[in-house]
Amino acid sequence: MLGLCRFSYLGLRGFQTDHDSIEARRAYLYDPLRLARRWLWFTEVALPAWARQTDPDFTLVIMTGPDLPEPYLSRLRELTEQIPQLRLELVRPMQHHLPACRAAIAPHIDPEAEVIGHFRHDDDDAVAVDYIASARKDFNRVKGLWKVEQRLALDHSRGLILKAGAGGLTLTPRICHNMGVALTIFLAPDMAETALTYDHSKLPQWMPVVSITRPVMFLRSIHADSDSGDIGPGLPWEIEEGGTDRLLKQRFGLKRAALEKSLTGLS
């Protein structure tokens, strides 16, 4: 299980917010207030569940640029010492995004593996504490599909949409297919592709996709700094009153009161 998380990586393509030059993109990404907000989302929302995975056998590559401003570069180095599954890769600015992602992932591919479960992870989203264990278990149930084409996606599609703004936090239960978070793409180790190679909204063009609709497996954040602020297509699902707070704690290791305090009113 091998993932890639881009933390304010200074590249020109691969994002929905475009800039005409490296200088313009650097000014946007490295704005001190923006970096402070991104760090808060990363540490308060994304990291807790990665540190608590029930199956610790995974690697999550944190990809950023070698000129990421301090103190954030040093903080990322410290995190890799605290959480052994994290690896830091400093990738120079590149015109094309997919080669940059491949450069970050390539040193961590195990050529002896039969299959690698690639996943992407945004620095403001969360997966459930048993995501790695579930992806491995569910893949074994449908491995025959992977053997046919050497490509298979597992989409853990039930989760919560977290919206943050001046009015506070809202949590919306949602089933979202192929959204990106908690989505695993299984490939042979000698393939050049990664999870970022494929447009996750169009995955059936390239491979079989199996949707796993239970249990709750993702938390997707929408806020002012989101690369995409659209909730996207999906299906609602019902949850009892107060259930979202319990799910936050049980599935993601998060407490709503602490999130409210940290994230409400960020601008």
The 10s digit of each residue's pLDDT in 219-237 is: 999 987 766 556 667 898 8
- At the top level of CATH, the class of 2-263 is alpha beta
Name the nearest CA neighbour of 63 among 73, 49, 55, 53. Answer: 73
Contact criterion met (CB below 8 Å) for 176 and 157: yes
Domains of the chain, by residue range, sit at: 2-263
Residue type, 33: L
pLDDT at residue 241 in the model: 76
For 53-91, b where at least 16 C-beta lie within 10 A, e where not — what string?
beeeebbbbbbbbeebeeebbeebeebeeebebbbbbbb
Sorted by sequence, the CB contacts under 8 Å of residue 141 that are 6+ apart come out as none
Q: Which residue positions in the chain have pLDDT lower than 50? A: 267
Q: Please tell me whether the overall predicted TM-score, pTM, comes out greater than 0.75 for this model.
A: yes
